[in-house]
A and B are shown apart, each in its own frame.
Chain A
Amino acid sequence: MNIAATTPRATEIQSMTRSDTPLVRFHGVRKSFGELEVLKGIDLEVASGEVVALIGRSGSGKSTALRCVNGLERINAGELTVCGRALHGGKVDLRDLRQDVGIVFQSYNLFPHLTVEQNVTLAPRKVHKIGAAEARDLAEQVLAQVGLSEKAKNYPEQLSGGQQQRVAIARSLAMRPKLILFDEVTSALDPELTGEVLRVIAKLAAEGMTMMLVTHEMAFARSVADQVVFMHQGRIWESGKGDMLDDPQTPELRQFVGNGL
């Protein structure tokens, strides 16, 4: 199967769906772990091509919200629609969903026994059944996107943390997702390496990729995100454009920004 033909480029998706329904829509979403209610009614829409930054204190439910989007966590109440699929109620084809929704983790989670190229092409080869030649082209292309063309034959352990994280981003890109989730992807990196990863994400944003990212990098959230969402105690406490961080409306956000900067 030729994925280039079946999966439109991000810009085409944008023009196709911008007018239509949002790519992600939370409506009164609730999620509990046992007795502990972690999401207490989340309403949020992410349009195609949009970049949404989730910020907030530790334990406010940012990761949980993100993990609900690709079905790693199942919501308990409300409605959650992702790329046209309802994740509430009935049975959801999670494998199908995950071909549209990529995720990048704080700890990279690369496959240590595979080279960079193999890491990047494993899923396209097994899931999209592309051939060896096509896989090589694909790896070349996505590794170029993250600036790591020359590392294709290396193993993850031979790379710096920042490089590993960029490989993880390339691995997500290789599935041609409509949406990528980033969960504190620079938190394990020192400032220098953080910069190189953030530049890659900013470039993807500029190219029109839809993204939801949990981040502690306030400057980055302000400059790159179309929508900043401040979560507090399982609720969306405040949200708006990046410049909302300059003029917090709630004492909680004011305090958070004060500490964060």
Chain B
Amino acid sequence: MFGLTIEQIAFIFRGAGWTIVLSLLGFVGGTLLGLPVALARASRRRSLKIVSGLFVQLVQGIPLPVIMFVVYFGISIGGYDVPALVAAGIAMTLYSSAYLGEIWRGCIQAVPKTQWEAGECLALTNTQRFVFVILPQALRMAVPPTVGFLVQIVKNTSYAVVIGFFDLTYSAKVINNSTFMPFTVFTIAALIYFAICFPMSVMARRFERRLNRT
């Protein structure tokens, strides 16, 4: 097929599998860390705001491949030999949490002030008000941009190739090295990336339209 053997194509798809694994890691980790980041950014406590703001600025100010290097070699300096998957997973977690945190902070702050006030006037505690009044409304708004950001996560996992992580980009590179058919090989890789990302973009747009309708 396209001048490649079935085994070679299967090899590329194995890489695609690891791309999905790393994307999931990045998303789950990014969610777990991004939620507290969003809460801290939106909170009234100055110290929390400053610390979380610094974190976001720092992560957003460093190119992702450099974060990958820093995490990978940083851990090995400590004398631990970590698999590239772990290092890449941590790097993707840091990266996604900074962006997801900002997206979600925006959603929390987009809930009208009058809703906060209504909750306050009903004698709800701050936590009750946040959990039962603000968060459900913020979550609804958060769905489209979050799904949209998933696409960024998937595409950006390709940077893990710099620390030798076996993903779609890496497997394509390997096959290219043995077949010398870069155009064919990377076109296949491109199509697979597209096949993963396109449905998510469509979904994000559909969610957004549904949200705008109501």
Partners in one complex: yes
What 0/1 readout, one digit per residue, does chain A (105-138) give for beta carbons within 8 Å of chain B? 1010111110000000011001100000000000
Among A102, A113, A122, A126, point to the contact of B121 (Cβ < 8 A): A102
Tell me the residues in window 114-132 of chain B with beta carbons closer than 8 Å to chain A beta carbons: 114-115, 117-118, 120-125, 128, 132
Q: What is the bound-complex CA distance between A70 and B132, given in angstroms?
A: 22
A72 at interface, CB cutoff 8 A = yes
Asked if residues B140 and A113 are in contact (CB atoms below 8 Å), the reply is: yes
Cβ-closest chain A residue relative to B126: A95
Q: How large is the interface on B (under 10, 10 to 19, 20 to 34, 35 or more residues)?
A: 10 to 19
Q: Indicate whether A109 sits within 8 Å of B122 (C-beta atoms), given known contacts A126-B128, A126-B132.
A: no
Q: Indicate whether A107 sits within 8 Å of B137 (C-beta atoms), given known contacts A98-B120, A123-B123.
A: no
Cβ-closest chain A residue relative to B137: A113
Asked if residues B123 and A109 are in contact (CB atoms below 8 Å), the reply is: no
Asked if residues B117 and A72 are in contact (CB atoms below 8 Å), the reply is: yes
Asked if residues B115 and A171 are in contact (CB atoms below 8 Å), the reply is: no
Q: How large is the interface on A (under 10, 10 to 19, 20 to 34, 35 or more residues)?
A: 20 to 34
A63 to chain B, nearest CB (A): 12
Cβ-closest chain A residue relative to B132: A122
Asked if residues A98 and B121 are in contact (CB atoms below 8 Å), the reply is: yes
A141 at interface, CB cutoff 8 A = no
A148 to chain B, nearest CB (A): 18
A103 at interface, CB cutoff 8 A = yes
Asked if residues A122 and B137 are in contact (CB atoms below 8 Å), the reply is: no
Q: List 11 A-B contacts (CB under 8 A).
A: A103-B121, A105-B114, A105-B118, A109-B114, A109-B118, A111-B137, A122-B133, A123-B122, A123-B123, A126-B124, A127-B124
Q: What is the bound-complex CA distance between A254 and B140, given in angstroms?
A: 51
Q: What is the bound-complex CA distance between A84 and B122, given in angstroms?
A: 19
Asked if residues B117 and A98 are in contact (CB atoms below 8 Å), the reply is: no
Q: What is the bound-complex CA distance between A102 and B140, given in angstroms?
A: 28
Q: What is the bound-complex CA distance between A98 and B115, given in angstroms?
A: 16
Cβ-closest chain A residue relative to B112: A109
A157 at interface, CB cutoff 8 A = yes
B13 to chain A, nearest CB (A): 42
Asked if residues A123 and B137 are in contact (CB atoms below 8 Å), the reply is: no
Q: What is the bound-complex CA distance between A122 and B125, given in angstroms?
A: 12
Ranked 9 nearest A-B pairs via Cβ: A123-B122, A109-B118, A98-B123, A109-B114, A113-B136, A95-B123, A99-B123, A127-B123, A126-B128
B135 to chain A, nearest CB (A): 10
Asked if residues A123 and B117 are in contact (CB atoms below 8 Å), the reply is: no
A71 to chain B, nearest CB (A): 9
Q: Which residues of B contact A111 (CB under 8 A)?
A: 115, 118, 133, 137
A175 at interface, CB cutoff 8 A = yes
Asked if residues A175 and B123 are in contact (CB atoms below 8 Å), the reply is: yes
Asked if residues A157 and B214 are in contact (CB atoms below 8 Å), the reply is: yes
B130 to chain A, nearest CB (A): 12
Q: What is the bound-complex CA distance between A225 and B140, given in angstroms?
A: 43
What 0/1 readout, one digit per residue, does chain B (98-114) give for beta carbons within 8 Å of chain A? 00000000000000001
